[in-house]
């Protein structure tokens, strides 16, 4: 009887200390952070964003569920988001002060810590695929401008006329931004549709909409990717954090995957993505603790105008646990793990 009791106690203790089984796969997606408030997002636009985030989970979940790679899931989701004019990536990207779309992207393979990045693309339909080509088919990590375009063309990536990326919404945001700073408004780009007769009003006149994905596949491999048009009215070849490995994107098997969104200058200065991973690896912080710490650091950093950094991150740990953090009023975000329910959220206070 006594030994039976001892056995039962042992079994109980084993149950209490057994770690949670890791999900077979896990996925987290963002569609940009910024001043996204209930009062300024119409119900129609909110529904469109929620549907787009759900589509991202469905696309990535299908790939991961059939044993596909995290790299393929990241690339496939970002393809769809680059084609979706709702997001500031690919079609629907924000404009530079010269009235151009200059696209940046990066991707990282946590298995080997191989990485690829592109900046300042103007004719490549899917910048994330150009970043993947840099990672897999060159000896380099980052290519920019003309050279990056030539490289992408030589690897047969799909090209489009620059007007493909044009959307009226982003053009009007550029006009408003330039007028507010007393800068000249450039002519509408060649190939853009004629200006609408009445000025359209878009409630969310901030430049959010960068996209990012982190995935863990059934083979235990983590990948992360980020794609953006950058910030409205950027000048002088400005490049943000999205294509900077260690700032906007990072992945390391067994440790972390991170994609960031926000005012890129601060994310570069804080070294956001790599710092989150280092905290998880060396300080044994959870994904949530590391994300919260580093976003607090972004918020404690100011620019030459005294304004503090803002934005958010999505994170997976090595076992596929999801975390996100932001110091902006909202971030389009979604997550799902094998066998679990999808989660889609927009506003910072959503649980």
- The whole-angstrom separation of Cα 196 and Cα 176 is 15
Inter-residue contact 264 to 105 (CB < 8 Å):
no
Smallest gap, in angstroms, from Cβ of residue 173 to ligand ASP? 12
Any binding-site annotation on 261? yes
Q: Which is nearer to ligand ASP, 116 or 320 (CB)?
A: 116
Q: Which is nearer to ligand ASP, 25 or 332 (CB)?
A: 332
- The whole-angstrom separation of Cα 139 and Cα 199 is 48
Q: Which is nearer to ligand ASP, 111 or 274 (CB)?
A: 274
Any binding-site annotation on 240? yes
Any binding-site annotation on 239? yes
How far is CA 86 from each of CA 46, 127, 233, rounded to the nearest angstrom? 11, 17, 18
Inter-residue contact 331 to 32 (CB < 8 Å):
yes
Residues lying near ligand ASP in the complex (CB under 6 A): 32, 88, 207-208, 210, 228, 230-231, 240-242, 261-264
Smallest gap, in angstroms, from Cβ of residue 89 to ligand ASP? 9
What is the Cα Rg of the chain in Å? 21
Smallest gap, in angstroms, from Cβ of residue 171 to ligand ASP? 17
Inter-residue contact 216 to 70 (CB < 8 Å):
yes
Q: Which is nearer to ligand ASP, 111 or 206 (CB)?
A: 206
Any binding-site annotation on 249? no
196: three-class secondary structure by DSSP: coil
The single residue listed with the structure tokens 């083979």 is: 219
Q: How many CB atoms lie within 10 A of CB 50?
A: 15
Nearest 5 degrees, angle CA 211-CA 168-CA 88?
A: 10
Smallest gap, in angstroms, from Cβ of residue 220 to ligand ASP? 29
- The whole-angstrom separation of Cα 304 and Cα 307 is 8
210 is catalytic: yes
Smallest gap, in angstroms, from Cβ of residue 347 to ligand ASP? 17
Element containing residue 227 per DSSP (H, E):
strand 222-228
Of the candidates 210, 231, 232, 249, the residue annotated as catalytic is 210
Q: How many CB atoms lie within 10 A of CB 251?
A: 33
Any binding-site annotation on 238? yes
How far is CA 60 from each of CA 32, 54, 243, rounded to the nearest angstrom? 18, 10, 21
Single out the residue of 85, 89, 170 nearest to residue 129, CA to CA: 89
Binding site listing: 238-241, 261-264
Binding site listing for substrate: 238-241, 261-264
**Catalytic residue positions?**
210
């Amino acid at each position: 009887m006594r030994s039976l009791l001892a056995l039962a106690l042992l079994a109980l203790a084993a149950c209490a200390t057994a770690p949670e089984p890791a999900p077979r796969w896990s996925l987290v997606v963002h569609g940009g952070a910024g001043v996204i408030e209930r009062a300024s997002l119409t119900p129609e636009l909110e529904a469109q964003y929620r549907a787009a985030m759900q589509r991202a989970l469905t696309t990535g979940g299908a790939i991961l569920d059939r044993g596909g790679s995290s790299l393929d899931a990241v690339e496939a989701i970002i393809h769809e988001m680059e084609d979706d004019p709702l997001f500031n990536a690919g079609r629907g990207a924000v404009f530079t002060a010269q009235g151009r779309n200059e696209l940046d992207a990066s991707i990282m393979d946590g298995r080997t810590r191989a990485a690829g990045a592109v900046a300042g693309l103007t004719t490549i339909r899917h910048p994330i695929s150009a970043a993947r080509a840099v990672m897999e088919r060159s000896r380099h990590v980052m290519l920019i401008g003309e050279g990056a375009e030539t490289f992408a063309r030589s690897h047969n990536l799909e090209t489009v006329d620059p007007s493909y990326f044009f959307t009226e919404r982003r053009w009007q945001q550029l006009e408003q931004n330039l007028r507010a700073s007393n800068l000249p408004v450039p002519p509408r780009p060649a190939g853009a549709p004629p200006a609408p007769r009445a000025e359209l009003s878009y409630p969310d006149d901030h430049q959010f909409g960068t996209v990012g994905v982190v995935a863990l596949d059934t083979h235990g491999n983590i990948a992360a990717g980020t794609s953006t048009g950058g910030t409205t009215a950027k000048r002088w070849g400005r490049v943000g954090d999205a294509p900077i490995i260690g700032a906007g994107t990072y992945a390391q098997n067994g440790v972390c995957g991170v994609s960031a969104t926000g005012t890129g200058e601060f994310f570069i200065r804080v070294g956001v993505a790599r710092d989150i991973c280092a905290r998880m690896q060396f300080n044994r912080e959870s994904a949530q603790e590391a994300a919260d710490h580093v976003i607090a650091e972004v918020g404690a950093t100011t620019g030459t105008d005294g304004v503090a950094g803002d934005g958010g991150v999505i994170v997976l740990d090595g076992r596929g646990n999801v975390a996100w953090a932001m110091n902006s009023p909202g971030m389009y975000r979604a997550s799902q793990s094998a066998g679990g329910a999808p989660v889609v959220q927009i506003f910072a206070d959503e649980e």
